[in-house]
Amino acid sequence: MILPVLQQPDPLLREKSIMVSRSTPEIKQLAADLLETMYALGNGVGLAAPQVGRLYRLFVFDVSEGRNQPGALLNPEIISHNKETAKHEEGCLSCRNFDGVVERYTKVTVRGLNLDGKKVTIKAEGLLARVFQHEIDHLDGILIIDKAEPVPPEQKRSK
């Protein structure tokens, strides 16, 4: 089911999400709905549960070219990162009229649970590392507008 995505300044977007004690059928359905919503909106590569008003530490992602390699993480945490950072333009499905340049680590290692409740550790770099950091920010009530330098309209990338 396609869910409505909350828009800034909705106060729920500023709340810290709660840990998910285990993967349940309801959590799996929420993850499926998040993916369906993300795909329906066209240009998103990640979507966190708080963006649809559910304050769970859960997000979904798909950075594949064919948009056919979805993933989901419960209770994700960055356990390590490299020292190198890069600035790159980002958008946000909850801040539709804002694009900004955000400095983020180029490589991160994230630990969490998959939808089967198994512990997973993912080493990510490039776009996937950026998506993980962006979505974990959402779980902590942090939005792109808190970190980004706005991009002037004439310099925005085409979407």
Residue 2 lies in a domain: no
- What six digits make up the tokens of 125? 């770099």
User: How many other C-beta atoms are found inside a 10 Å radius of the C-beta of residue 129?
Assistant: 24
Q: Report the binding-site residues.
A: 92, 134, 138
Please report, in range form, the residues annotated as the binding site for Fe cation. 92, 134, 138
Predicted local confidence at residue 156, as pLDDT: 64
**What's the confidence (pLDDT) of residue 38?**
97
Would 3 be classed as within a structural domain?
Answer: no
Residue 83: which CATH number?
3.90.45.10
Write down the pLDDT at residue 158.
52
Residues annotated catalytic, as ranges: 135
Domain of residue 109, residue span: 11-155
Q: Per-residue confidence of the chain (159 residues) as pLDDT tens digits?
A: 999 999 999 999 999 999 999 999 999 999 999 999 999 998 899 999 999 999 999 999 999 999 999 999 999 999 999 999 999 999 999 998 888 999 999 999 999 999 999 999 999 999 999 999 999 999 999 999 999 998 766 666 554
In a domain, 90, yes or no: yes
- Count up the domains in the chain and report the number: 1
In a domain, 5, yes or no: no
**Is position 54 within any domain?**
yes
